A = this chain, B = another copy of it.
C-alpha cells in the first residue's frame, strides 16, 4: 500500500523517460514502465488510462521542460530586443543540448514520439509563439519595435529560425558555420522589427 501511495504520476513519467532512453520509443509502454518501477501494470493504469495516454504525457513533460525556463525570460526586465534574443538563444541552446550525449538516444526517442503526437507539438509551438509575442508586444509598448502584429510576427520569427531549433534539422547543428548562420538570420530579423 505504501508503495502505491508513493507511485505518483511524476515517478511514472521519470521511469518512462528512463525506459525510453534505454530501450527506444517502441518500449514506452505501460508494462515495461511498471516492470522498471517494480509495480504491477494495474498500478500504472491507475494514473494513465492507456499506453497512448502515457506516451502523450511523456511528450508533454519533455516539451514543458523546454518551455518553462523560456517563460522566465519573458518576464525579465529591460529592452525587448535583447530579451527576445536571450529567449531565442535559450530555445536554440535547449533544443541543441537535448540532442547531445547522454541524451542523444532520448532525443531520437522523442522525435519518434513527436511524429505520432501532432497535437502536443502544435500546443508546444503555440506556447512558444505566445511567449515570443509577449516580448514583441512589450517591445512595441516600449517604442523599441515597430507596431507589427505580435502573434503573426512571433510565428514568423519561429519559422525564420526553424533551421536552428526544429529537430528536422538536428543533423546540421554540428556544422561548423551553424552559429554564424543563426546570428546572420537574427540580425536580418531584428532589423525588420526594430524602429
Q: Which of A6-14, A83-91, A149-157 contacts B (4 or more CB under 8 A)?
A: A149-157
- A82 CB within 8 Å of chain B: no
The number of times this chain is found in the oligomer is: 2
Chain A interface secondary structure, helix, strand, loop or mixed?
Answer: helix
Is the beta-carbon distance between A185 and B160 smaller than 8 angstroms?
Answer: yes
Q: Which residues on the B side are within 8 Å of A184 (C-beta)?
A: 152-153, 155-156, 159
Residue among A152, A185, A187 with max Cβ neighbours from chain B (10 Å): A185
Q: How many residues in A have their beta carbons less than 8 Å from beta carbons of B?
A: 25
Contacts of A160 in B (CB 8 A): 159-161, 185, 188-189
Q: Can you name the residue of chain B whose Cβ is closest to the Cβ of A177? A: B155
B181 and A156 within 8 A (CB): yes
Q: A187 vs B149: C-alpha distance in the bound complex, in angstroms?
A: 11
Q: Which of A43-51, A53-61, A97-105, A162-170 contacts B (4 or more CB under 8 A)?
A: A162-170
Q: Chain B residues near A36 (CB, 8 Å)? A: none
A66 neighbours in B (Cβ, 8 Å): none
Which chain B positions have C-beta within 8 A of A191?
146, 191-193
Question: Which 5 residue pairs spanning A and B have beta carbons closest together?
Answer: A192-B192, A191-B192, A160-B160, A156-B184, A156-B188
**Is A63 part of the contact surface with B, judged by Cβ < 8 Å?**
no
A73 within 8 A of B: no
A190 at the interface (CB under 8 A from B): yes
